[in-house]
A and B are shown apart, each in its own frame.
Chain A
Amino acid sequence: MEFTTQLLYAHDQILLAIMIFVIMLGMGASLTINDFKAVVRQPKGVLVGFISQFGIMPLIALGLATVLNFNPAFAIALILIGTLPGGTTSNMFTYFSRGSVALSISMTTASTMMALIMMPILLKLYTTGFTSQITASMQAAGETAEFIIPTGNIISSLVMVLVPVAMGMYLRKKSPGWAKTAEDTAGFVGILVILYLLLTAFIRHTSLFIQTPVTVYIGAIGLGLAGFFFGYWFSRLLGVYPLFQRAISLETGIQNGPVSFAVILLSFTEPVQSQMLWLAILYSTFIVITSSIITLHFRKKGRFDWDVYRNTHIHNRLFGKGYVTNYPDGFLHKRIADDPSQGTEPSQKRA
């Protein structure tokens, strides 16, 4: 499939830029210095999350792009999305899925910083096959240029994205009230802009939806779903607590969409830019739907161990740090029996 017209007009790009700014500002407003310190306190969870975000997720993207036989532009976009850090959206979904919000925030923080190094390396590593395809077709068309991943541009666009995050953190420090408002607004703005882009795309390029091959839809939806699935089972097999499993699962599947817009707009040019953006828009749309469904599922499944965690937590809050909650025999299931507080209160550890 070829894009005959430009996907985004100039004013759309400005709108997108504003959205990225607002969302990243909101993300910063939700973070404090303590969140960075918390990364050190939960090394196992963060490490498992790191492996699943930067180890498993890009592989899933590569695998999907290969199996679904994506054209190079879509393939590069999918792998790009696979290597993105986590966003604050995952923190909200983790909260409602009764997962560990602390871990989710730690992972978001850690992966956002690590992305500066990991994204260029991984992109280079996994996209070589596809970039050479583009180069080949360009040379076939008589051009002498070679298509390469613009590593320098990607790093600088990532740094640019981190500026509003830092501003948000500063805002949080100065005025928590405004920071809260910024945080709330961010989520709402994100959804509105995505919906606007979809709607305008629908009106301007109705045929785009039909032209887009089914495999691209499958890839855009499947990437998130596979991330949830592998994130959950990978952490479960490593014996991480249920609360952490849910956080890691969502953090793996939900990527920071706005960062991908920023990177694509700032680092790539046509003929691939529009197609890459289109995939990023599709991913960002479907991830909201799939993660809502997954969250509802987790919320239901996780009710019991969440109740246990909350109850022991409150016992320690009210009865003293040393209080041990002894549940009746057989009440707790195996995975949380030796630590009903699931790693957050030292006194509750049994083993």
Chain B
Amino acid sequence: MYYRIKAENLAQLYQKAADKFESMPAFATRQSAFNWTPVSFREMNNLGLDLATGLIDLGVKSRDHVGLFGDNRLEWMLADYAVQFCGAADVPRGRDISDDEIVYIVNHAGIEVAFVETIKLQNRFIGLSDQLPGLKEIILLDPKAEPASGVKKLWDVLDRGSQLRKQGDRRAEERIAGIRPDDLFTLIYTSGTTGQPKGVMLTHSNMTSQVENLPGYHNCNDRVLSVLPIWHIFERVIEMYTISFGGCTYYSSVLTLGDDMKNVEPTFMASAPRLWEKLHERIIKNIKASHPVRQVLFHIAYFLSKQYQNSLYYLYNKYLKIKPQAAWKHWLLMPFHAVRWALVMPWYGFFNAAVLERIRLGAGGSLKATISGGGALPIHIDRFFNNVGIPVLEGYGMTETSPVISVRSHDNLVVGTVGPFLKDTEVHICDQETGEVLYPNQNLPYDGKGIRGEIWVRGPQVMKGYYKQEELTAQTIKDGWLRTGDLGMITHNDCLKILGRCKATIVLSSGENVEPEPIEMRLQQSRFIDQCMVVGQDKRYLGALIVPVWEEFRNNGHGKMSDIELSQNEDVRKVIRREIKNMISPSSGFKSFEQIRDFRILPNSFQIGEELTNLHKIKRHVVEERYKSELSELYANGSSQK
């Protein structure tokens, strides 16, 4: 009943899927709410072979890097099929790529042939052509647009390949046969800490190991709704996984997601935390707007579900177990939970059926599971969805591990963790300074469970390295162990819990990576700002803690006020607000998600040995700990500020 294709490389995966699932729909694109166009596995495979032959005819060689710049659409997937069938690797990026990145990536990856999605993007490439000496061919994905001279249309290349194949051209098949497991299937550039993007080399065997090892029960009855950017590794692994079990991927978008969820009734979905936050917001809003009787019923249902689930988690040892539990305590609490479970069950059953089912229907009603990744899911959202009966399987990973390191499964759903490690994957928790292994370590109590440290990973999903950056690769991967730069611990029921990052990089809940240091350096250039720290890990926007230059204010009419009085002064806030707005703006080169939306003024400056290291670097975790209340206040009324 649950079948998954096993393949040595992605080209083989695509072909085997066509042989197995033939005319079942593989991808569906939305024309309007109730009008979607399906493409079957067989059609996709044939189109892919045609386009691949066209590419080979254009001069694409095995192990070439082919640019693929665009967002979710069928032609993107088709281009990926073709690139894999050529034995080449794609270098993907979305439409929001900056000019600098285009120049850097195309030259660094040595791209000769590039797909671009839209006319606008095509024109940018043409405009930059002086700086792109190696780029020979541009192919336009959008079938409705008319390309500039010298630019080819995807469907023309495909038609050419189709003609060749009719004449007996079988070069694509030869290429597929020549793919080795450690050949790259993609080269993904991620924005790095040092300014220039890093090219992450991921191999066929990286991806096929993921497809094989991901936990889950799916078959060709499954419908997968796709909303993440298609070139993001998290979305790609879901795409490959979906192909392996014969499911159909329905391309949705943020704007139409609400309707699409109801019409497509997805059984499986992957998304960043932001989406679950939005969905949660909407559900709560709907409940608040509903009939008072219904509201009461919902609260009763939710309460019962919470009691029921908590006891169930306890009985199955699936609760967030950060501390070890003594055996006597366990046996003492066990009957209590068993009784609570039994007492609540019939009531839960009734309310679950009568009330919570309606909430689930709002999300289509068929979701067997959803996966959240690309950032930490706020715990209350996590609990909410699990309590209303939409299991959220939170996962953890990074582009460098293609991407899944661990994920919660149905059989191991411990809310608050990112689940057990994937099959064949080893994880160590190591001391940040010394590199000493804290877990697994027999000399420590409980083998080192419950101790925080940096997460190191070794397994079949770990990347080959950073392209043309041996030194950086050697720093990141030592003896096969990849240093993730994330802090975590192993819970006492063998799940991984993520605790933050060693590095300063801030990952917003939208999945955007932000380096705080350049922003902080820029802010400190203001004559009013002495010290500052940018925050926003897992939040929707950036915030800042600011220590002003008090003298500036004293010299400007606030002479008699103390630091503390000044820190609460409205004029000071106004000046600082204006300064931040002026300094961190798109015109000064900052992206929209790098804007500081809100800030708090601190009365005391950061001190060496306290908040600062001897080298004047901010100890971020110390600041976060010390100004906890300011930080939570900063994000408390977040939903109103957009």
Contacts and interface: CB of A to CB of B under 8 A. Distances in A.
Interface of A: 92, 96, 177, 181, 184-185, 187-188, 191, 292, 304, 307-308, 310-311, 314-315, 317-320, 323, 325-328, 331
24 contacts: A92-B353, A92-B354, A177-B291, A181-B294, A184-B294, A184-B297, A187-B354, A191-B350, A292-B349, A304-B1, A308-B221, A310-B265, A310-B366, A314-B223, A314-B265, A315-B25, A318-B35, A318-B38, A318-B263, A325-B25, A326-B22, A326-B23, A328-B22, A328-B24
B20 A328 contact: yes
B220 interface: yes
A166 B366 CA distance: 33
A327 B24 contact: yes
Interface in B514-528: none
A208 B310 CA distance: 38
Interface string B5-24: 00000000000000011111
B316 interface: no
Contacts of B590: none
B264 interface: yes
A325 B247 CA distance: 12
B246 interface: yes
Contact of B221 (A96, A184, A311): A311
A184 B24 contact: no
Contacts of B353: 92, 96
Given A185-B293, A310-B265, A326-B22, A319 B36 contact: yes
Nearest to B290: A177
A328 B350 CA distance: 38
B34 A318 contact: yes
B363 interface: no
Give the bracket for the number of chain B residues in contact with chain A: 35 or more
A336 to B, nearest CB: 12
A315 B24 CA distance: 10
A179 to B, nearest CB: 12
Contacts of A96: 353, 357
A181 B291 contact: yes
Contacts of B264: 314, 318
Contacts of A327: 24, 220
Interface of B: 1, 20-25, 28, 34-38, 219-223, 246, 250, 263-265, 267, 291, 293-294, 297, 346, 349-350, 353-355, 357, 366
A328 B246 contact: yes
A323 B355 CA distance: 34
A318 to B, nearest CB: 4
A319 B354 CA distance: 32
Contacts of A187: 350, 354
B253 to A, nearest CB: 16
Most B CB contacts (10 A, CB to CB) among A92, A317, A331 go to A331
Given A96-B353, A181-B293, A328-B22, A318 B220 contact: no
A317 B264 CA distance: 9
A314 B24 CA distance: 13
Contacts of A177: 291
B453 to A, nearest CB: 42
Contacts of A315: 25, 38
B28 A331 contact: no
Contact of B36 (A185, A191, A318, A331): A318
B34 A317 contact: yes
Nearest to B365: A310
A327 B246 CA distance: 10
Contacts of B350: 187-188, 191
A185 B294 CA distance: 10
A188 B349 contact: no
A323 B28 CA distance: 13
Contact of B354 (A184, A326, A328): A184
A319 B25 contact: yes
A328 B250 CA distance: 20
A326 B38 CA distance: 13
Contacts of A185: 293
Nearest to B19: A328
B583 to A, nearest CB: 49
B366 to A, nearest CB: 6
Contacts of B293: 181, 184-185
Most B Cβ at <10 Å: residue of A92, A181, A319, A320: A319
B370 to A, nearest CB: 17
A188 B347 CA distance: 10
A188 to B, nearest CB: 7
A94 B250 CA distance: 29
The 3 closest A-B CB pairs, nearest first, are A307-B221, A318-B36, A311-B221
Given A314-B264, A319-B28, A326-B22, A331 B354 contact: no
Nearest to B297: A184
Contacts of B349: 292
Contacts of B219: 307, 331
B201 to A, nearest CB: 35
Contacts of A191: 350
A188 B301 CA distance: 12
B347 to A, nearest CB: 9
B313 to A, nearest CB: 20
Nearest to A93: B353
Contact of B28 (A308, A318, A325, A328): A318
Contacts of B223: 311, 314
A307 B25 CA distance: 15
Contacts of B36: 318-319
Interface centre among A96, A311, A315, A325 (most CB of B within 10 A): A311
Nearest to A340: B221
A320 B24 CA distance: 15
Tell which of A187, A304, A319, A328 has the most Cβ of chain B within 10 Å: A328
Contacts of B267: 307
Given A317-B263, A319-B38, 6 more contacts: A96-B353, A311-B223, A314-B223, A315-B38, A325-B24, A326-B23
A326 B349 CA distance: 37
A226 B24 CA distance: 41
Contacts of B221: 304, 307-308, 310-311
Nearest to A326: B23
Contacts of B38: 315, 318-319, 323
A194 to B, nearest CB: 12
Nearest to B355: A184
Contact of A328 (B37, B220, B297): B220
A68 B293 CA distance: 45
A1 B609 CA distance: 88
A223 B394 CA distance: 46
A188 B353 CA distance: 11
Nearest to B40: A326
- Among A177, A304, A310, residue most surrounded by chain B Cβ atoms (within 10 Å): A310
Contacts of A325: 24-25
Contacts of A307: 219, 221-222, 267
A229 B294 CA distance: 36
Contacts of B294: 181, 184
Nearest to A96: B353
Nearest to A331: B220
A96 B366 CA distance: 12
Nearest to A92: B353
B130 to A, nearest CB: 46
A189 to B, nearest CB: 12
Which interface residue of A92, A96, A187, A315 has the most chain B CB atoms within 10 A?
A315
A311 B246 CA distance: 13
Contacts of B24: 325-328
A326 B219 CA distance: 14
A318 B265 CA distance: 11
A184 B264 CA distance: 27
A315 B36 CA distance: 9
Nearest to A292: B349
A237 B296 CA distance: 46
Contacts of B291: 177, 181
